[in-house]
Amino acid sequence: MSDQLLQRQLPVIFGLTDRELLRRLGELVRASRRVEAVLIAHIAEVDARRLYAREAKPSMFAYCTEVLNLSEQEAYLRISVARAARQHPLLLTMLADGRLHLTGAGRIVPHLADGDAAALLERAAFKSRRAIEEMLVAFSPQSDAPTLVRRVPIPSSTPVPTSPAATALSRTPDASPRLPPAPPPQAPRPLAPDRYKVQFTVGAAFCRKLDRAKDLTRCSIPGGDIAAILEVALTEMLSRLEARRFALTKKAGADPPEGGSTGRHVPAAVRREVFRRDGGRCRFVNSEGARCSTCTLLEFHHVHPYARGGAASLANIQLMCRTHNAHLAEREFGAAHMERFRKGAPSRPPPAAPSPA
Q: Are residues 215 and 316 in the same domain?
A: no
State which of 81, 102, 127 marks the end of a domain: 127
Question: What was the pLDDT predicted at 153?
Answer: 72
Give the integer Cα–Cα distance in Å for 139 and 193. Answer: 9
- The mean of the pLDDT values for the chain is 82
Is residue 179 in a domain? no
Q: Are residues 241 and 306 in the same domain?
A: no
Q: Are residues 23 and 116 in the same domain?
A: yes
Question: What was the pLDDT predicted at 186?
Answer: 66
pLDDT grade, residue 3 (50/70/90)? low
Is residue 194 in a domain? no
**What is the per-residue pLDDT across 306-323, written as a single tens digit (0 to 9) for each?**
888 888 898 999 999 988
Is residue 181 in a domain? no
Q: Are residues 225 and 115 in the same domain?
A: no
Residue type present at position 256: P
Q: Are residues 278 and 234 in the same domain?
A: no
Q: Are residues 9 and 54 in the same domain?
A: yes
Q: Are residues 104 and 217 in the same domain?
A: no
Average pLDDT over residues 159-164: 47
Is residue 144 in a domain? no
Contact of 305 with 265, CB cutoff 8 Å:
no
**Which residue range(s) make up the domain with 221?**
200-246
Q: Are residues 234 and 310 in the same domain?
A: no
Q: Are residues 336 and 290 in the same domain?
A: yes
Q: What is the pTM of this model?
A: 0.61
**What is the per-residue pLDDT across 217-266, written as a single tens digit (0 to 9) for each?**
988 888 889 989 999 999 889 888 888 888 887 666 566 666 566 677 88
pLDDT at 277 over 90: yes
Please tell me the least confidently modeled range out of 83-87, 204-208, 242-246, 291-295.
242-246
Question: Which stretches within 98-163 are classed as H helix?
Answer: 102-108, 117-123, 129-136
**Domain count across the chain:** 3
CA 219 from chain centre, in angstroms, equals 39
Instruction: Pick from 138-147, 148-157, 234-243 the range whose average pLDDT is largest.
Output: 234-243
Is residue 31 in a domain? yes
Q: Are residues 9 and 88 in the same domain?
A: yes
Question: What was the pLDDT predicted at 351?
Answer: 58
State which of 127, 151, 168 marks the end of a domain: 127
Nearest to 106 by CA among 85, 87, 123, 134: 85
Is residue 22 in a domain? yes
State which of 76, 107, 127 marks the end of a domain: 127
Residue type present at position 69: N
Please tell me the least confidently modeled range out of 81-90, 166-175, 264-273.
166-175
pLDDT at 168 over 60: no
Is residue 325 in a domain? yes
**What is the per-residue pLDDT across 40-98, written as a single tens digit (0 to 9) for each?**
999 999 999 999 988 888 899 999 999 999 999 999 999 999 999 999 999 999 999 99
Q: Are residues 114 and 41 in the same domain?
A: yes
Q: Are residues 123 and 7 in the same domain?
A: yes
Task: Name the burial class of residue 91, with classes exposed (0-12), middle (13-18) and buried (19+) by CB atoms within 10 angstroms of its CB.
Answer: buried
Is residue 184 in a domain? no
pLDDT at 170 over 50: no
Q: Report which of residues 24 and 179 the model is more confident about.
A: 24
